[in-house]
Amino acid sequence: MVGRRSSHRPHLLIVGDDPDLAGFLAEGLLLAGFWTSTVASPFQALEVFRLRSFDLVLLDAGLGGFGAIELLRRLRGRSDRAATGVRRTDIPILLVLAEPGEVEAEVAATAGADGLLAAPLELDEIAPRIFAVIDGWRAAHPDRRWANEAALSPDHPSPTP
C-alpha cells in the first residue's frame, strides 16, 4: 500500500468496540500515511474531543453504548439527549458499515456523517477516499490547523471552532 506524499500526516480517530475492525483500520491506515488513535466507546470519544484535535473520525456503525448515530448527533450538536446546539467538532466523520444497509444513508447524513464506508473494506480503496475527504474539508477551512500542529502549539485551541 502506498500512502500519499504530503507534508502533513492526518490524525484519525477510530471509534469502535470491535477490536478486529479497529485494529485493521488502525494498523492499515498507519501504513497508508495517517496517524491513528482508537477508542472503544462513545463516552471515550466524547471525552477525547475535550483533550485533543483530529483531522477525521472513522465511526463504527455497530458501536455499542448509546450507539453511533447518537454519538454523531452529540458531536454535531444535534442531540436531544445532550446540550443541544453545543457542537464538539465540525471535522469530517465517516461511518464505517460492517454490512451494507446497517444504517440508512439518510439517517447517517441527518445525524452529521460526511459519508459512509461500506464492507468489504479494502485499505487500497478507503485510504485515498479518506485523503480526498480531508483534502475537501481543508480546502473549505484553509485557516484551520492540522490536528498535530494544534496539539504541539503552546496555545492549543479547543477542537471546536
Residue 49: per-residue pLDDT: 86
Residue 93 lies in a domain: yes
Q: What is the pLDDT of residue 150?
A: 67
Long-range contacts of 148-156 (CB under 8 A, 24+ apart): 148/8, 148/9, 148/11, 148/35, 149/8, 150/52, 150/53, 151/52, 151/53
In this model, does residue 96 exceed pLDDT 90?
yes
Supply the CATH number for residue 117's domain: 3.40.50.2300
Asked if the model's pLDDT at residue 1 lies above 60, the reply is: no
Q: Is residue 108 part of a domain?
A: yes
Residue type, position 104, single letter: E
Q: Is residue 105 part of a domain?
A: yes
Of residues 34 and 161, the one with the higher pLDDT is 34
Model pLDDT for residues 35-60, shown as the tens digit of each residue: 999 999 999 999 998 888 999 999 99
Residue 144 lies in a domain: no
Q: Does residue 84 lie within any of the structural domains?
A: yes
Q: 115-157: per-residue pLDDT in tens?
A: 999 988 999 999 999 999 999 999 999 999 898 886 555 554 4
pLDDT of residue 159: 46
pLDDT of residue 84: 54
How many domains are contained in the chain? 1
Question: Is 22 inside a domain boundary?
Answer: yes
Segment 22-33, tens digit of pLDDT: 999 999 999 999
For the chain, what is the largest distance between any 2 Cα atoms, rounded to a whole number of angstroms? 44
Residue 147 in domain: no
Q: How far apart are CA 71 and CA 16, in angstroms?
A: 12
pLDDT greater than 60 at residue 69: yes
pLDDT band at 79 (very low <50, low <70, confident <90, very high): confident
**101 pLDDT tier (thresholds 50, 70, 90):** confident
Structural domain containing residue 128: 11-138
Q: Report the C-alpha gap between 97 and 105 in whole angstroms.
A: 10
